[in-house]
Homo-oligomer: A and B are copies of this chain.
Amino acid sequence: MFSVWISELAARSGASVATIKYYLREGLLPPGEATGATRAKYDDRHVARLKLVRALTEVAGMRLEQVRAVLEAMDDDSRSWHDAVGSAHRRLPPPTAAEPDPESAQRVQELLDRHGWELEPDSPHRATLAGALRSLAELGHSPCDEVLDVYAEAAATIAEHDVASIEAKDPTAATEHIVVSTLLLEPVLLTLRRIAQQNVSRRLS
């Protein structure tokens, strides 16, 4: 454990002193240990938190108020893996989506039922899925049930490995791991799909 002034914290984290002061004012970074009226010292937990805020804004593309909600979820004491996942997810930004309609909401429920998945009636995931399905339908590109099932099965396979990798972690690091891996593996998954699409279409051309 080291203890450094704000200028050294900037050097170690890659964030500017102005950015650090802004994060301190906004509560995104806990205060340092006061060593006088205007000076404070910072440690490795501050460096780690700064790297996390940067990854959430730059890699996951989140706005600062979303980052704040995610950090609050991470600092929660949750009683089980499941509570931790649910609590973290509720505070994550949804992939954006349009307003759902009853027909799309019904398709979502049928999809959940086919895969034996439970989901709270007020889960934000329902509106996200239904909104996307509604837009696809309105544009004339509604996916058939078979395509949705392929997506759901692929998601289930991935989630098994995600959760297994969470369980291998020290419990105190678990919520951070859920948040970081949920968010930062999302661009990985989307990009791999795009690469795979190119390769499949090349084979068929």
Contacts and interface: CB of A to CB of B under 8 A. Distances in A.
Nearest to A192: B155
Contact of A129 (B116, B138, B141, B188): B188
Contacts of A194: 89, 92, 125, 182
A167 interface: yes
A83 B204 CA distance: 11
Interface in A148-167: 148, 150-163, 165-167
A128 B187 CA distance: 7
Contact of A186 (B92, B155, B190, B199): B190
A95 B190 contact: yes
Contacts of A186: 95, 190, 193
A98 B200 contact: no
Nearest to A162: B197
A200 to B, nearest CB: 4
A60 interface: yes
A24 interface: no
User: Which of A58, A190, A191 has its CB near the most chain B CB atoms (within 10 A)?
Assistant: A191
Interface of A: 48, 51-52, 54-55, 58-61, 80-86, 89, 92, 94-98, 112, 116-119, 123, 125, 128-129, 131-133, 135-136, 138-141, 143-144, 146-148, 150-163, 165-167, 176-178, 180-182, 184-202, 204-205
13 contacts: A58-B135, A61-B96, A81-B201, A82-B201, A95-B186, A97-B187, A143-B165, A143-B188, A151-B158, A152-B192, A155-B193, A159-B196, A160-B200
